[in-house]
Amino acid sequence: MTSTIANIPTQQTATQIRNDWTREEIANIYYSPVFDLLYRAATVHRQFNDAQEVQVCTLLSVKTGGCPEDCAYCPQAARYHTNVKVHKLLEVKEVLEKASEAQAAGSTRFCMGAAWREVRDNKDFDKVLEMVQGVNQMGMEVCCTLGMLSAEQAQKLKEAGLYAYNHNLDTSEEYYDQVITTRNYGNRLDTLENVRKAKISVCSGGIIGMGETEGDRIGMLHTLATLPAHPESVPVNALVPVEGTPLESQEKVSVWEMVRMIATARIIMPKTMVRLSAGRVRMTTEEQALCFMAGANSIFAGDKLLTTPNPEVDADKQLFELLGLKPRKAFKGE
């Protein structure tokens, strides 16, 4: 006999990696009573991962603002009037110095973001390839988020030593055009396929708190969990509402919404690094602890995300000590 938690056979889900989840199964998990959900996520997490370990990543915006896209959440879209200072692509030397500082502060993954719609084959891309090479040589996992990529560009990044590529689905396919109209869901999925084909680790997740329904959140998780292979990393961002963007007045999401997203992601994609991403500055220690309990095992460290504030490194050191967490080593998943 199989016992059930929230109507899902526990034996079936706790031991296998599955890519055939139905929306209904995911919804049943998502809506289960909070303590059942937390218990189950924490159990799955311990079966597949070292639950004390949390990956510490650092972000750097290497090209800021002036983006032609219309993503309603984004302070870097040229069409919205925000306080973001536009900056052309940074110099390689400066980026490598920042990576070295991040490494000294305990980060094992360095992620470089550019406010581009897509990568173009030009001098700027050559510079990014140099940055990738340099960070990789330092022994850090190097990640980029540069917008859409062709198969050839993904291959070039791989050859330069790129470890992971971040490209978020952001929300469900159904809600996508309420948030972004300058590209579509299929464009996003094509880039993810190009990244996968180049054998680069896939990082893809989304944002909650943009006015989407819980059905949309479940829809996004369903798309991620039914890709041919689960992304190695899934960031769960709480919207950071930025003045001047169309979503500036959105209400803060509650911790229970973050917990439901993280725990569901953990259960349906057991080995994936689930990242408690944007929004930590507005969370208490206890709220963040609940997210780790739910299976989050990665964070962004350093006092800035791309353009918005993030907790100080010292505060996170204290958080790790308090909760008995330890930073994960680089390249562990290989």
Q: Which residues are known to be catalytic?
A: 67, 71, 74, 111, 143, 203, 275
Q: How far is the CB of 78 from ligand SF4 (least distance, A)?
A: 8
Nearer of residues 63 and 260 to ligand SF4, judged by Cβ = 63
Transcribe 223-275 into DSSP letters.
Answer: HHHTSSS--SEEEEEEP---TTSTTTTPPPPPHHHHHHHHHHHHHHSTTSEEE
* Binds ligand SF4 (CB under 6 A): choice among 44, 74, 160, 259: 74
Could you identify the residue written with the tokens 């090479």? Answer: 133
* Binds ligand DTB (CB under 6 A): choice among 13, 277, 297, 298: 277
Binding-site residue total for ligand SAM (CB under 6 A)? 18
Nearer of residues 8 and 234 to ligand SAM, judged by Cβ = 234
For residue 280, CA distances in Å to 209, 273, 291, 305 come to 14, 17, 10, 10
* Binds ligand SAM (CB under 6 A): choice among 65, 134, 147, 219: 147
- Angle, in degrees to the nearest 10, between helices 34-48 and 255-268: 40
Site for ligand DTB in 86-145 (CB under 6 A): 113, 145
- Mark residues 59-98: x for contact with ligand SAM by CB under 6 A, - for none: --------------xx-x----------------------
Could you identify the residue written with the tokens 């208490």? Answer: 284
Give exposure, 16-26, as e/b (b: 16+ Cβ within 10 Å): eeeeebeeebb
- Where helices occur in 17-79 by DSSP H, the ranges are 23-30, 34-48
* Binds ligand SAM (CB under 6 A): choice among 32, 223, 237, 297: 237
Give the footprint of ligand SF4 on this chain (CB under 6 A). 67, 69, 71, 74, 76-77, 115, 117, 147
